[in-house]
Structure 1
C-alpha cells in the first residue's frame, strides 16, 4: 500500500513512465533486462505503476539469484566440514531501487540486493551434539548385489549428518527425496527367498528400517511407520519401515529438549546408523532386538516393483 500511494503521488509530477531499459545484474552478469513500459498500467485514464508486475518480476528472479545455505557436515574421518552461507533477494531494498529506476529519466543497471542466510546447522552445533550416543542399530546386506548396495549407499549419504531439532518432525521421503535414475538410483530387481521384489531405488527400505530401529533405540517418538506386506530378511519380524515416494513415509518427532544428530555409514555389507546428542540430553532408551547377520539368498529377476 505504501508503494501504491508513492506511485500515485509521484505520478502527479511525472506525466508518463520513461521507456529506457534496465539491466538487472547479479554477480557481475545480467540476469534480466526490463523496460519501464512493462510495468505501466492505466488508472482513471492516467498511467501508474503496476505493483503486482513488480512482485512477479521479483518472484521470477528469486530462483535465479538465490542460493540455499548448506549445513555443516561430518566426514567419515570425523572432521567437520563448515557450512555455506545462502542468499535471498532483499525485497524491500529491491522495491526501493526499482522505483527509483521507474521514475528516473535515464537507462540504468541495478545490482540485485540480497540478504545472507546462515545455515541452520553450523560447526559449533555439530561439535556439541555428537558427544553422546543415544541410539544405534546395524543391519546387513549382500554387497555382491551391486545395484542394491549402490542404492543403500546413496540413501545413507542423504541422511548422514542430518540434525533434527527439538519439536521437529523428520520425514524420510522429504530428506532423501525422490529416488530416480537422474539422482543416481539404480534398478535392483531381486527376489529374496522367492518373496521380495524390488525396482528403482531397491534397497532404500533397508535404510529406512535401520533408521527406524536406531531412533527407536534412542526412545524417539515415531509418528508414521508401515511394515511391508511380506516379511523382509534384514530386520526382525515387525521391525521394518517401508517407504515409497508416492506411498508410505517414515517419520519421527524429536520430543527431547536437545537436537539429535543422525550418522549413517555403510561398510562393505554392513549398514550402521547411530543417533547422537549433547551431554545434557535426558533421554529414555529402549531395548531393540538385533538384526540377523545371515545374508539372504538372492537371484536376479526381470520383475520390477518399488520397495
Structure 2
C-alpha cells in the first residue's frame, strides 16, 4: 500500500564529459593525412571577408568514425545578420552577386583536402562553369537550401579539420592520430600564381564564387 505523504526520488548522478576535449585534440592533431591550398585576390575585400568567415566556421571541426560532415550544416545560413557580405557568385552559369560570395572556394579547398586524405565523399556538386581557383572538375559548389558538400569518416579514428583563409591564401589541413589506418589519394595541386580571372577581379567585384 502506498503512503499518503509526499515522497522524493533521488536520481543517480553521472558525470558528463565533452565529446571533444583537450586530450582528444592533442591525440588527433599529430598526424597530417590531407592538405590543400588555393589562392584568391585579397584586394576583393568582401569576398576575402566571406572566405575568412566560412573558414573560421569549419576550423577545428572534429568528425568521429562513422559520422558525416555537412558543409551547409556546419557553416550555417549565409546572411548579412551573420556577418556575410555581398560578393561574386555563379548562378546558372552566369556571374552575379549575392550574400556569401566566395565561400565555394572554402568548400572546394576542403573537398580537395578531404579527397587527398582518402575520406569517403557522400555529396559533391560542380559549378555550372569552371572556377579559377581549382582545376576543372575539382570544385565543390554549395548553396543554402541547395547543393551541399558532405563526406563521411569511414576510418578507425576521429579526424580534425584546420582551415584558414587570409592574405590571399585558403588552406585546409586534415589531421588524425598515429593509430589511423588511411589510404590517401593522389589529388593534383593548383598553381600558386593568382589566376588571370582572379587578378581582373581587382577592378571587377563580381569574380565568381
Q: TM-score, normalised by structure 2?
A: 0.86
User: Which residue number corresponds to residue 265 of structure 1?
Assistant: 164
Contact 1:190–1:300 (CA under 8 A) maintained in structure 2:
no
Counterparts of residues 229-240 of structure 1 (less than 5 Å)? 229-240=128-139
| Count of residues in correspondence between the two structures | 196
User: Which residue number corresponds to residue 300 of structure 1?
Assistant: 205
Cα RMSD (Å)? 2.5
User: Which residue number corresponds to residue 87 of structure 2?
Assistant: 188
Structure 2: gaps spanning 5 or more residues: none
User: Which residue number corresponds to residue 141 of structure 1?
Assistant: 40
Per-residue deviation, residues 13-56 of structure 1 (Å, max 9, x unmatched): 9xxxxxxxxxxxxxxxxxxxxxxxxxxxxxxxxxxxxxxxxxxx
Task: Provide the secondary structure at the position in 1 that maps to 2:83.
Answer: coil
User: Which residue number corresponds to residue 53 of structure 2?
Assistant: 154
Task: Provide the secondary structure at the position in 1 that maps to 2:98.
Answer: coil
Per-residue deviation, residues 115-162 of structure 1 (Å, max 9, x unmatched): 875321100000000000000000000000000000000000000010
User: Which residue number corresponds to residue 211 of structure 1?
Assistant: 110
CA shift at 1:260, angstroms? 0.4
Residue 132 of structure 2 corresponds to residue 227 of structure 1: no
Contact 1:151–1:202 (CA under 8 A) maintained in structure 2:
yes
Structure 1 CA distance for aligned equivalents of residues 110 and 80 of structure 2: 23
Between structures 1 and 2, the one with greater helix share: 1
Residue 66 of structure 2 corresponds to residue 167 of structure 1: yes
Q: TM-score, normalised by structure 1?
A: 0.59
Structure 2 CA distance for aligned equivalents of residues 176 and 125 of structure 1: 23
Contact 1:129–1:278 (CA under 8 A) maintained in structure 2:
yes
**Rg bigger for which structure?**
1
Structure 1: gaps spanning 5 or more residues: 1-5, 14-92, 98-113
Counterparts of residues 1-307 of structure 1 (less than 5 Å)? 117-189=16-88, 196-292=95-191, 293-295=193-195, 296=198, 297-298=200-201, 299-300=204-205, 307=209
Contact 2:88–2:95 (CA under 8 A) maintained in structure 1:
no
Q: Which has the higher contact order (CA 8 A, sep 6+)?
A: 2
Q: Which runs of 4+ in 1 moved over 6 A?
A: none
